[in-house]
Structure 1
Amino acid sequence: MAAPGLRRFAEKFDDELKFFKGWIDKPKAVGSIIPTSSVTARRMASIVDTASGLPVLEVGPGTGVITKAILRQGVKPSDLYTVEYSHDFVMHLRRNYPGVNVIEGDGFNLDEALGDMRDARFDCVVSGVPLLNFPIARRVAYLDGLLKRIPCGRPVVQITYGPKSPVPPGFGDYTVEHFHFILRNIPPTQLWLYRRAARN
């Protein structure tokens, strides 16, 4: 039987191979050649309010590094909905995260992907979709589709490898806030928060 440290290394290496294969097969759908670091994943998962009683939506989970961090934040598997475009990643997620609602679908068409859950309210959204691969108009429409599913004032957290917010301010009804710059990620990454202001 493999030692725990060796097993964790093997699992991490397996995830990186899957991610690299996904990047080779569909480079526009995968933002990096290796998965997000655990440090970045924990930062992203920290936005979850487990006391809200609402489920959490994750879009673009890849191999599930951030999924794992969300669950460790205290979210029950049955309260986590992940939408992933890659069939290979979907199969990987379903094997490794039993109980999580893993949906194979397009994050740019969430009404169709979520099906019966299209009108559900979520506490927040954790997004790993590589937005810089898409035109600004599609990015803004994507963000709007996320914000309408969460209460006003609650955040969408987005990872990006560029220096600026992938959804620029001034294109819609949302605020933009820099959350973190994380050097301990390959490549170094920026996290951004988007909210819709609470109505008076």
Structure 2
Amino acid sequence: MPINQGKTSLRRNIRFLGRWLRNPKAVGAVVPSGKSLAAAMVAEIDRDGEGAVIELGGGTGNITAALRTAGFAPGDITVIERDPSFYRVIAERFPDVRVLQGDAANLRSLLKAAGIGKVKGIVSSLPLLSIPDRICLQIVSEAMAVLGEEGALVQFTYGPASPVSRRIVSRLGLKAQRASWVMDNIPPAAVWRYSRQGIASTKTEARAEPLTAERLQKRSA
């Protein structure tokens, strides 16, 4: 990694830590998502499908970077970030990507105001386990409302259980699948995929083993 790039990355991590120290429940993690975790989340979205990709809780932009690396067109990516500091970071880091400052609980109105129509996938870094259940229900409901019939909400968590409660999954009639474990993330993380009942996920079934940097390298070779 070039020295300047390394310094920039360090500054972003320090800023992320600072926001976590001010409001741990709102940020949810001490450091941003690692490259392997970001790549694992992005891999759950069909790059060739029609529609936009929405990112909830962009943070310092590591998952946005993974979307760009995976070949998603900048015009197809929209990042929703509530925190003004993180909003500025992503807007400066990715000037060709649409970044909206707002609350994911108001996703439908945010996308409508921005003129965004069909959505093929949503990747979320929101700390759902730290959010009150009623607000989590609203966020997931909004996400599923804007997704196409075969679209999915992709969310990561640091524990073994689903970050979306069984009550919400049942109430919304969703299918919850743990897509992969990313053991070389710090800390290790699980990627979960939420879709409507009856929508098969061959991608998820193919990724039952822990996802590591070595396996990602083999996949892209």
Q: What TM-score comes out, normalization by structure 2 length?
A: 0.82
Matched, 1:187 2:184: no
Contact preservation (8 Å) 2:57, 2:80: yes
Residues 56 and 124, structure 1, Cα contact 8 Å, conserved in 2:
yes
Aligned to 1:174: 174
**Percentage of matched positions with identical amino acids:** 28
8 A contact 1:77–1:98 mirrored in 2:
no
Q: Tell me by how many angstroms 1:8 deviates.
A: 2.7
Q: Which residue of 1 aligns with 2:130?
A: 133
Contact 2:124 2:154 in 1 (8 A): yes
- Structure with the largest fraction of helix: 2
The whole-number CA distance in structure 1 between the counterparts of 2:99 and 2:91 is 6
Aligned twin of 1:66: 63
Paired AA for residue 110 in structure 1 = L
- Answer yes or no: is the 8 Å Cα contact 2:52–2:116 preserved in 1: no
1:193 partner letter:
R
Q: Deviations over 1:81-102 (max 9, x none)?
A: 1000110111111111011110
Q: How does 1:117-156 map to 2 (within 5 A)?
A: 117=114, 120-156=117-153
Structure 1 moving runs of 4+ over 6 Å: none
Structure 1 match to 2:196:
196
2:46 alignment counterpart:
49
- Structure 1 gap ranges (5+): none
Does the 8 Å CA contact 1:128/1:158 hold for their aligned counterparts? yes
Structure 2 CA distance, aligned partners of 1:43 and 1:12?
20
Deviation at 1:168, TM superposition (A): 2.5
**Structure 1 CA distance for aligned equivalents of residues 19 and 118 of structure 2:** 30
Kept after mapping to 1: 8 A contact 2:51/2:117: no
2:174 aligned partner, one-letter code: Y
Q: Compute the displacement of 1:194 (Å).
A: 0.1
Following the alignment from structure 1 to structure 2, what is the Cα–Cα distance between the partners of residues 9 and 120? Answer: 37
Q: Given that residues 153 and 198 in structure 1 are in contact (C-alpha distance below 8 angstroms), is that contact kept between their aligned partners in structure 2?
A: no
* Partner residue, 1:98: 95
- In 2, Cα distance between the equivalents of 1:15 and 1:182? 22
Distance 1:113 1:68, change over 3 A: same
1:177 CA drift (Å):
0.2
- Paired letter, 1:10: K
| 1:25 maps to amino acid | R
Q: 8 Å contact 2:57–2:124 — kept in the other structure?
A: yes
C-alpha distance in structure 1 between counterparts of 2:53 and 2:116, whole Å: 14
